[in-house]
Amino acid sequence: MMKYILTACLSLLLAHQAIAIPEVPALQEQVDKGLLPPVVERLPESPKIQSFDGREVGQYGGQIKMLMGKSKDIRMMVVYGYSRLVGYDDKLKLQADILEKIDVEEGRKFTLHIRPGHRWSDGTEFTAEDFRFFWQDKANHPVLSPYGPPPAMMRSSEIPRFKVIDKYTVSYTWKVPNPYFLPALAAPRPLYIYMPAHYMKQFHADYLSDEELAEKVATAKKRNWRGLFVSKGRQYKLTNPALPTLQPWMNTTKPPSERFVFKRNPYFHRVDPQGKQLPYVDDVIINIASGGLIPAKTGSGESDLQARHLRLDNYTFLKEGESNNDFKVNIWGTGRGAHIALYPNLTAKEPKWRKLMQNSDFRRALSLAVNRDEINQVVYFGLAKPNADTVLPDSPLYKEKYAKAYAQYNPAHASLLLDSIGLVHKDSRGIRLFEDGTPVEILVQTAGESTEETDVLALVKDSWRKVGVQMYIKPLQREVLRNRVFSGDAVMTTWFGLPNGLPTAQMNPQQLAPTRQDQYQWSQWGRYYETQEGEEPSLPEVQRLVELSNAWASAASAAEQTKIWHEMLNIRAEQVYSIGLISDILQPVVVHKRLKNVPEKAFYNWDPGAFFGIYDMSSFWYEKEAQ
Amino acid sequence: MFNYVIKRLLAMIPTLIVISLLVFIIIQLPPGDYLESHIAELESQGESVDPAQIEFLREEYGLDKTIWEQYFVWVTGFMQGDLGYSFEYNLPVSEVIGDKMWLTIIVSFFTIIITWIIAFPIGMYSATHPYSWGDYGLTFLGFLGLATPNFLLALVMLYLANQYFGTSIGGLMDEQFIDQPWSWDKLVSVCEHLWIPVLVIGTSGTAGMIRRLRANLLDELRKPYVVTARAKGMGELKLLTKYPLRLSLNFFIADIGSLLPSVISGAEVVAVVLSLPTTGPILLAALQSQDMYLAGSFLMFLAILTVVGVLVSDILLAMLDPRIRLQGGMKK
């Protein structure tokens, strides 16, 4: 009986709490003084209620200290904060976040509903005007955007029709479906289609007299008003502390600085299941230190939440620091298809290399001649996976045959394949010869910032030598490497594998087809897709990939999309366009012992993931210290 | 004397023009430009930039102009006191460097003082007790400081300071004091951190100074006037400091030329390793990312300081030592 009464009391108490939303303690003083309205008025009429599935409701207070390598890295707070019009949750499902809801008709008409009463961090209401201002006065302004709206809003040179329906509703309509629109809004570097109009109008030529504008340009020491407007309105880079934001924390420090203080946004739109306004943590402090020192600083307890600049080989050192400091080291998965992959350049300049690299049996042979288990044991303590460059086991699209395709070490099979494509003769060193008598010596160019790549390559070099292929390793600076790939001078390079190793069928499969110049195995073909310059893909399988990628965009059902993904993944696995050397590498994540709601097991990935973003950093909280 | 100074000042102009050309060309020599290294960096983190945006930035930054136009814009701006615009920071160069300048000067100032405090007594002792155990032993210490790579010493000291004194790693103060007004606690925190870079950079400079002081002093101490003074019963300390020490200080004055720029630039590599908020790491990063106006203006600034420093030390030398002639070779 007693138990029932207690439960009843408790539920009454909870219900009562839900009605009277408690004020954020850190803001109480400002509210009492009348500088801020009380929390009920600061929240939108219908705030975003976070689902706390597997998470605990927390307490307010504290600060999270983090380390970054450069002062421009503060843009990561937009990534970690992950406040988006629509965003992924931790199950990678798209859902409305800033928006109350979004209606999609036929995949081409998007109606965006803003939460009435939602406010910018300075207290001004967030309305359709902010969307209109961006669309008319920024994205389509002849001076500010001479190249037109951002590419993610274009469907083959078609600009969407934008309409303000009422104060809280806007719509974008294309003639054909645009499956790229929502993922772009949810991206870690989001597509911004809104801007704080009330603030940015101060710097816009259409809203100012010439004298006023000239004066503002002069005081800001800019060359023209475009420069002024751009520098004041960097919503992603956060360099202007005065710019209102919708993120959980707002920057209060003007760069350059060694220490950036992010204070809580008093008008943030998310609440926990009890109705308490998020974020729980009052401040985020970002200290700038040189990248090389960050593992050491983290190991001595100078960061409360750190993954950036930490690598697997810091793990033992960090573990050692656990005993003396207040942090624990979690190990997260990463989301790239492969941690390191070799990219044969199918658009290499020299004809004989181009021909060889385009030969699928040659690529298969090279892949078979890599001893991935050895790499895993020697360099990664056996903690990684010796798989090919494809989607990871946690993706619903994963099949073991993709991961194992040509990934088993089999020098005999490799030799057979090499013999079969005419590389039969060998010189006195045992290196295979081209028909013109020159040896098959592959120069692998790599971005040599750490010794990790070169360590791995040294192992590959030995195993390739056994099948009669000689490798030379040349570390280069990243930008030089990039340009050498684009020009076709580099025959083979190393880079990460697929950018998104955890896709669902609803995500764009563009990464599998030549669609971007920075895909190092076919940069010219990718360039052709992007800008119609460069070369058209010449191999039938590659043409098929492009076809499939385009077909996905107009696919009607999830089943069809899944089918397209699998056909593409199958082609990739069979054709070995990139030779994955090692995958599923682990990422150490250092977390303060009392910082709650940080998942122990999770994925540390850029897109999708936004690093800490999809795990909702605004719900992280500090447990009070045990007295 | 007046004519001499005027002549030297006029000679500076072509020197600086040549330096500015060299600086600009060398910064432009590596393939690509700032935007390309910027894109490459973003890509390595998984981010990407759309091509139209890059075109826009290239135009905005004036990178689409020819190298000579860019040079001309930079030089004319520089002469009017406009140091240009840093792409990396999105700020005028003067604002980027300005903040860091005074911390750099503090570090350099203390470093120089420490170098002198260590080097002078050792140099004097070595010269007055040449070829003794003390001479060899102390000189050995000095060479040890010169021969140990600075960055290694810096890392070892960082570790020890963190392990035994609990000093936070890197930087010049505990993080809570950054950007705060000065207070006693902040001063203490700075002192806790300052000794490492000062000692590390200082030790590398001592060996050179010890050897030069010793050599100059030894030359002087064997001269007849010293022997005479000693024969007349002059005290050893006065004998040493009255003339020989002063005469052997010429090298010291001549050093000012190189001292001035090093006060501003700080020791780059040590500053990077120790993550000091000084100008050194900024210069290095600017060169790596081809942030050309930041790097160029900073190097130009150092060049001007060098040229001025050499002039100042020449004038000082002439004033201090009447034996030095301004017109070399005239009276031979």
Residue B46 has a pLDDT of 63
Average pLDDT of span A337-353: 92
CB A582 within 8 A of CB A456: yes
Give the closest-approach CA distance of B163 to chain A in angstroms: 9
The pTM assigned to this predicted structure is 0.85
Average pLDDT of span A458-468: 94
User: What pairs with residue A327 in β-bridges?
Assistant: A592
Q: Return d(Cα B302, Cα A87) in angstroms, integer.
A: 49
Residue A484 has a pLDDT of 86
- Residue A237 with chain B: CB contacts under 8 Å: 90
Residue B48 has a pLDDT of 67
Report CB contact under 8 Å: A481, B40.
yes
Report CB contact under 8 Å: A239, B90.
yes
- Residue A292 with chain B: CB contacts under 8 Å: 272-273
Q: Given pLDDT bands bounded at 50, 70 and 90, which one contains residue A91?
A: confident
Lowest mean pLDDT among A309-323, A406-420, A490-504, B172-186: B172-186
CB A369 within 8 A of CB A411: yes
Say yes or no to pLDDT of A201 above 60. yes
Axis-axis angle for helices A478-487, B34-44 (nearest 10): 100
Instruction: Give domain limits for chain A.
Output: 340-582
Q: Given pLDDT bands bounded at 50, 70 and 90, which one contains residue A18?
A: very low
From residue B269, how far is each of A222, B262, B283 by CA, in Å? 33, 13, 11
Give the closest-approach CA distance of B67 to chain A in angstroms: 19
Residue A7 has a pLDDT of 47
Give the closest-approach CA distance of A309 to chain B in angstroms: 11
Give the closest-approach CA distance of B27 to chain A in angstroms: 15
A residues 588-617 lying closer than 8 A (beta carbon) to B: 606-607
pLDDT tens profile A574-596: 999 999 999 988 899 999 999 99
B164 phi-psi bin (left φ>0, alpha ψ -120 to 50, beta other): alpha
- Residue in this structure with the two tokens 């406010």, named with its chain if needed: A119
User: What pairs with residue A171 in β-bridges?
Assistant: A111, A163
- Residue B99 with chain A: CB contacts under 8 Å: 256-257
B residues 167-196 lying closer than 8 A (beta carbon) to A: 168-171, 175, 178-179
Give the closest-approach CA distance of A308 to chain B in angstroms: 10
Say yes or no to pLDDT of A505 above 60. yes
For B91, which of A256, A300, A482 is closest by C-beta distance? Answer: A256
B residues 222-251 lying closer than 8 A (beta carbon) to A: none
Share of chain A above pLDDT 90, in %: 59
Residue A16 has a pLDDT of 44
Residue A14 has a pLDDT of 44
Mapping DSSP onto H, E and C, the string for A165-229 reads EECCEEEEECCCCCCCHHHHHCCCCCCCCCCCHHHHHHHCHHHCCHHHHHHHHHHCCCCCHHHHH
Residue B327 has a pLDDT of 61
Residue of A nearest to B41 (CA): A478
User: Options 1.10.3720.10, 3.90.600.10, 2.60.120.260, 3.90.650.10; which CATH number does B100-278 get?
Assistant: 1.10.3720.10
pLDDT tens profile A544-566: 999 999 898 888 788 899 999 99
pLDDT tens profile A205-248: 999 999 999 999 888 877 788 888 988 988 998 889 999 999 99
Mean pLDDT of chain A: 89
Give the closest-approach CA distance of B146 to chain A in angstroms: 24
Residue of A nearest to B269 (CA): A290
Report CB contact under 8 Å: A296, B41.
no
A residues 224-253 lying closer than 8 A (beta carbon) to B: 226-227, 230-231, 234, 237, 239, 253
- Written as one string, the DSSP assignment of A22-35 is PPPHHHHHHHHTTS
The residue that leads in pLDDT, A6 or A486, is: A486
Q: Quick one: tokens of A320?
A: 């050692």
From residue B3, how far is each of A505, B254, B304 by CA, in Å? 82, 21, 21
What's the angle, vertex CA A151, arms to CA A147 and CA A157, rounded to 5? 75
Interface test with B, best of A141, A229, A288, A290 (most B CBs within 10 A): A290
B residues 254-273 lying closer than 8 A (beta carbon) to A: 272-273
**Dihedral sign, CA of A211, A214, A218, A219?**
positive
Report CB contact under 8 Å: A483, B89.
no
**What is residue A249's DSSP assignment?**
E
B238: CB partners within 8 A, 6+ apart: none
The DSSP H or E segment spanning A285 is strand A283-288
- Written as one string, the DSSP assignment of A98-149 is SEEEEEEETTTEEEEEEPTT-B-TTS-B--HHHHHIIIIIIIT-TTT-TT-S
Give the closest-approach CA distance of A37 to chain B in angstroms: 29
Residue of A nearest to B171 (CA): A289
Asked if A531 is an interface residue toward chain B (Cβ–Cβ < 8 A), one would say yes
pLDDT tens profile A350-407: 999 999 999 999 999 999 999 999 999 998 888 889 999 999 988 889 999 999 999 9
For B47, which of A189, A256, A258 is closest by C-beta distance? Answer: A189
Q: Given pLDDT bands bounded at 50, 70 and 90, which one contains residue A15?
A: very low
Give the closest-approach CA distance of B169 to chain A in angstroms: 6
Say yes or no to pLDDT of A78 above 80. yes
Q: Given pLDDT bands bounded at 50, 70 and 90, which one contains residue A157?
A: confident
- Residue in this structure with the two tokens 């992959």, named with its chain if needed: A341
Q: Quick one: tokens of B300?
A: 């130009």
Asked if B275 is an interface residue toward chain A (Cβ–Cβ < 8 A), one would say yes
pLDDT tens profile B15-53: 999 999 999 888 888 777 788 777 777 776 666 666 667
Residue A21 has a pLDDT of 84
Give the closest-approach CA distance of A17 to chain B in angstroms: 36
Task: Report the 10 Å Cβ neighbour count for A519.
Answer: 25
For chain B, list residues with pLDDT below 50: 329-332
Say yes or no to pLDDT of A103 above 90. yes
- Residue in this structure with the two tokens 């002078």, named with its chain if needed: B120
Q: Given pLDDT bands bounded at 50, 70 and 90, which one contains residue A618?
A: very high
Residue A26 has a pLDDT of 92
Residue A627 has a pLDDT of 57
Asked if B29 is an interface residue toward chain A (Cβ–Cβ < 8 A), one would say no
A86 phi-psi bin (left φ>0, alpha ψ -120 to 50, beta other): beta
Cβ pairs A/B, distance under 8 A? 113
Interface test with B, best of A153, A259, A323, A449 (most B CBs within 10 A): A259
- Residue B89 with chain A: CB contacts under 8 Å: 71-72, 255-256
In single-letter form, the type of residue at position B137 comes to: G
- Residue B92 with chain A: CB contacts under 8 Å: 221
Domain A340-582 has CATH 3.20.20.70: no
Report CB contact under 8 Å: A72, B273.
no
Give the closest-approach CA distance of B221 to chain A in angstroms: 49
